[in-house]
Each structure stands twice: as structure tokens, then as C-alpha cells.
Amino acid sequence: MENISEFAIISRLLKLVRPLKSVMTTGVILGVLSRLCGIFLAVIGAKAVAITAENFLNPSVRPSIKMFAIILVGLGVGRGVFRLGEQYCNNYVAINVLSLTREKVFTALRKLCPAKLETREKGNLIAIITSDVETLEAFFAGTVAPVAVSAIVAIVMSLYIGYLFPVAGVVAAIGFVTVGGMVPISSEINSYPASLEYRNAFGKMDSFILSTIYGIDETIQYQSGHKTVKEIVKRSDNLADTKSELVEFEKNQRMLITVTTNIFAAIILVVMYIAYAKDKVSFNQLVVAVVATVSAFRPVAALAAVSSNLNQAIASGKRILDLLDEEPKVDEVIEGTDIDLNNSPKNVLVVAKDVKFGYDETPVLTGTTLAVKKGHILGIHGASGSGKSTMLKLLMRFWDVNDGGIYYSNQAGKAVLVKRINTKSLRANQSFVTQDTWISHDTIAKNIAIAKADATMEEIAAAAKKASLHDFIETLPQGYNTVIGEDGYSISSGEKQRIGLARAFLHDANLVLLDEPTSVLDALNEGIILKSIKEEAEEKTVVLVSHRRSTLNIADSIWSIGTESAGH
């Protein structure tokens, strides 16, 4: 979406909030009524003063003070009521737009997972989900509505001033278009590149800060904090420079708006005075036209403040739309074939035939063939970076192979290409334990239950026992209800890894894929878990990746990546 126009971005952003269009429309209508009440408070007051002054020597035609007082009170009350309703509608939109947009963003992320996300900066994604989405909240509640309100007010007031004197109405319309349209749009076009640069730099700063936090232990150990601080200062200075450029644009725009508004107000005054001198308008029409013009410029000129928000919103919107437009490397299958490995009559459940795969231009697997036998433990061994974990991801279909094929045996005994299996069915038949176990800020029980949302405490405890985790949990003050911090900072790496194993046991799938499941465990816990895996393999099929020969001793056969052979 590199060449998409700013207008196209705004159009697509508006489509994101179609469910809220009725509330947004109501808010705009109430906003218009509120602004018009405010304008006509000044207009009616000026009219009363002008008529009184014009007929000072003729009391019989002086206006009724009571009538004007009633009208002014009515306009004042109406302005307050309409303003309150407008704010309610705008707040409703602001709250719900966050939910709608984040839902769409998370839906897109889910489709992109996990292949696409492995190559993205995590901090940048966080910036999109948080600050960019929040910028859109301000856009819909504080930009879209004011633009619509100002445009309608400008049209109404141009017609009203034109009713007083046509030439003045034309001049006012030109002034409203200039102040509310041409100046902000010109400024927005000129400042948009800087706004986009600022949003992108902001996202990269988030990524850098996030990676710095993750590496804080190494930073302290190797005393490299001064380098980190220097880099943060450098990035902050770059952000500040870009922000200063945006501030300069805003300052120049405000100054131009003020000068332009005063020029057009003066032109209206001159036009109406000439018309008055030629007896084409009355004195009160002269006063009312000038006051109406000056009062109407106030909401129209407010668009100048909106345009800076518009720049930020368009820049943020482009980043969000870029994410929504990304094509997943692996599409979910919903109209394919279901499988049930438990009921497959075949002795071989999974076959990889002459598989070739690489990340971008880097080849990893070059013609790999292997077979996974039912009820067996297949060990995968090889040097670091040889493609052991990659093979598991291909079996999970996190990525699609570049060439060759991966086949699963279905309940009829037929080999089904993995990319034709319904994704939901494929996941139901697999349990996967990665090298890095993700932990949420929640209880241990709920962290384990991620693998099975409706799991009972008995099932959770049974899975924890198989993962050699139960005894540790029992020592905690709240047991399974103990809350562990974000990313499991309050527990050890080994305990995190055992939570991952407990999830796999709880999921109870036929095919269990284990990627270095004991890499951070001591010998005693490794032995306990390997015993559990061996017992689990009596009813399951296991593919075990490990660089440890001791771990692979439980395997019925070993596939050595590189030699591409399988044997005892």
C-alpha cells in the first residue's frame, strides 16, 4: 500500500467504523445545532443592538427586549443541550472505535501468525496496536466530526449571509473554503511525510526499547549500558527533530489561519459598508453580516487544529492498513479435509517427501524425506541451524514448503497433503512445545489451561504431574491459583518449560511435537519428564527435537538432519 493516496486512507478508515455511523451522524447533527446556536447568540444580540441604534430616535420601532431575551435564552439552553449530546456521541464513538479497530488488527495478526510475525519487530507491532490505534480514536472523535460540523456550518452560514447580501455570501463562502479547506489541506500535504516518518520512528523506538528490556541482564553483565543510553538519546533526538518540524508546521498554519480570517472579515466589512452606503442593505444587516461572518469563522478555523491530528491519524492509519493488507504466508484452510490420527489404520501417520524450504533466500532444507510411525518416538538430531525446528514448523504448517510435500494419514488411511487439511482439524491432532514457552500474567492453572479452555482442575493437575510440575506448584502459597508475572518472571526457565509440557499433555493430541523440551532442565527433572514422554508415547506419536543425545535415548528411531537418515 506504498502509493495509496491520503484520501484513500481516510476512506478506508471510515469503512472500519461503519457499525458506528449512525452515532457519528447523530453527533455531527448535534454539533451543527450547537455551533449554530452559539453563532446566532452573537448574531441575534448584534441584531438587537443594531436595530435599537438604528431606530434610537424612533422608540415606536425599537425591538422588544423581552422577545430577544427569550430567543437568546432558548439559544443558550439549546447550545448546552446539543453540545452535551454531541460529546456523548463522540465519547461513545471514541470508546467503541478502539474495540472495533483492535479486533480487526488482532484478527489480522491471527491470520499472519506465526510465520509473518517471526520477521516483524515486536515493539513496532505493539506501537501499532496501542499508540496508532489510540491515534485513530482521536481521529474519529476529534477530527471526522469537527470537519463534518464545520463544513455544514460553513454552508449554512454562507447561505444566511448571502440572504442578507449575495455578494457578501459569496465572499464568506470563499473565506470559509480558504480557511477551513485550502490552508489546512495545503499544510497537511506538506507535513504528511514528516508525520509518517515520526510514526515509523516511534514504532522503531518501541522495538528498540523492548529489545533492550529483554536484554537487560546482558547489558548489566557486560557493562554496555552506556552504549544503550547513547543509542536511546540518539533515537530520541531524531524523534524530537521530527516533532519540532511538525510543531513548526502547526505554528505557521495557525498564523496563516489568523491572518486569512482577519482579511476575509475585513473584506466582508468593506463589502457590506459599500452596500450600506448605496442603500442596498440596512445598518442592522451590515452589523449582522459582519458578526455572523466573524462568529462562523470560529468553528471553521478550528479545522486548523484538526489538521495536525489528521496528519498523525493518516500516518497511523496507513501503518494499521498496511498490517491489515498483509497477506499471510500460510492461509487457513476451512473448506478442506478433516483428519483423525487416532483412528488412522496406517502404520505411518506423517510423511515428508523431498521437502525443500528456505527463509527468503536462505535455504534450510534441501530435499528432506522422513516418516513418522504411529505409536513411536522419532528423534530429530542435528547441528544448530540445520533445520530441526524448521521441520517441526513445517509439520505444524506454520510455513508451507517450497517444494515437495508433507502428508498426513486420515481415518480412511489415505494420505492428505497438509495444505488441504482444515487448520482447525490439524491443530486438534497436534500438541506443540516450543523452545521458548510463552507465559501470560495469570494463574498457573490458567496458563496450563490455555491448551484446553474447559479443562477441570483434575485434568490440569494430572498434566502438571506428567510434566514434573505438580510438586513445585504445591509449595506455592496459592498453589494452582498462584499468579505468575508477565512472561513468567517469577518462575525459573525450567518451570516455564514444564508449563509448556503440561499444556501439551493437557491438549491430549495424538501427535506430540517437542522442540528441545528439556533444554533448560537439570538431569533429575529431565529424567522424570522423559519417562513421562516415554509413557505418553505408548498411546501417542512423538517427534522429539533435541541436541542432547541423552534426551534422544528414549527415541525408537533417530533422524539425523544433514544425513537425512532414520534409524536406531
Task: Report how far residue 306's alpha carbon sits from residue 144's, in angstroms, rounded to the nearest whole number.
Answer: 9
Task: Report how far residue 371's alpha carbon sits from residue 423's, in angstroms, rounded to the nearest whole number.
Answer: 21
pLDDT at 229: 77
Q: Are 214 and 206 in contact (CB under 8 A)?
A: no
* Overall size of the chain counted in residues: 568
Phi, psi of 275 (to 5 degrees): -65, -40
Question: 449: how many CB neighbours lie within 10 A of its CB?
Answer: 22
Cell readout for 238 is: 531524531
Domains of the chain: 9-325 (1.20.1560.10), 341-567 (3.40.50.300)
pLDDT at 29: 93
pLDDT at 34: 93
Please identify which residue in the block is written with the cell numbers 523492548. Answer: 210
Read out DSSP for 403-462?
EEEEEEE-TTS-EEEGGGB-HHHHHHTEEEE-SS----SEEHHHHHGGG-TT--HHHHHH
Task: Report how far residue 404's alpha carbon sits from residue 410's, in angstroms, rounded to the nearest whole number.
Answer: 19
pLDDT at 54: 67
pLDDT at 565: 41
pTM of structure: 0.65
pLDDT at 143: 74
pLDDT at 566: 41
Give the residue among 33, 263, 46, 35 at the shortest CA–CA distance from 164.
46
Q: Taking the C-alpha atoms of 204, 205, 209 and 211 in order, what is their torsion angle to the nearest 10 degrees?
A: 20
Q: Are 20 and 96 in contact (CB under 8 A)?
A: yes
Q: Are 487 and 439 in contact (CB under 8 A)?
A: yes
pLDDT at 160: 93
Burial (0-12, 13-18, 19+ Cβ within 10 Å), 305 = middle
Secondary structure of 506-547 as H, E, C letters? HHCCCEEEEECCCCCCCHHHHHHHHHHHHHHCCCCEEEEECC
Print pLDDT tens along the chain (568 aa): 455 677 788 788 888 778 888 988 999 999 999 999 999 998 888 888 877 776 654 555 555 677 878 888 999 999 999 999 998 988 888 788 888 888 888 888 777 777 666 655 666 777 777 778 877 777 777 777 888 888 899 899 999 999 999 999 999 999 888 887 777 666 665 666 666 677 677 767 766 776 676 666 556 555 667 777 787 788 887 777 777 776 676 777 777 777 888 888 899 899 999 998 998 988 888 998 999 988 888 887 776 666 656 667 777 788 888 888 888 888 888 899 999 998 888 889 999 999 999 887 778 888 888 899 988 899 998 877 778 888 999 999 988 999 999 999 988 888 999 999 999 999 999 998 887 788 888 889 998 998 888 899 999 999 998 888 898 899 988 899 988 876 666 787 778 888 888 998 899 888 999 988 877 777 777 787 788 778 776 778 999 998 878 788 889 898 887 654 443 3
Question: 420: how many CB neighbours lie within 10 A of its CB?
Answer: 12
Please identify which residue in the block is written with the cell numbers 521441520. Answer: 391
Q: Taking the C-alpha atoms of 487, 488, 492 and 496 in order, what is their torsion angle to the nearest 10 degrees?
A: -80
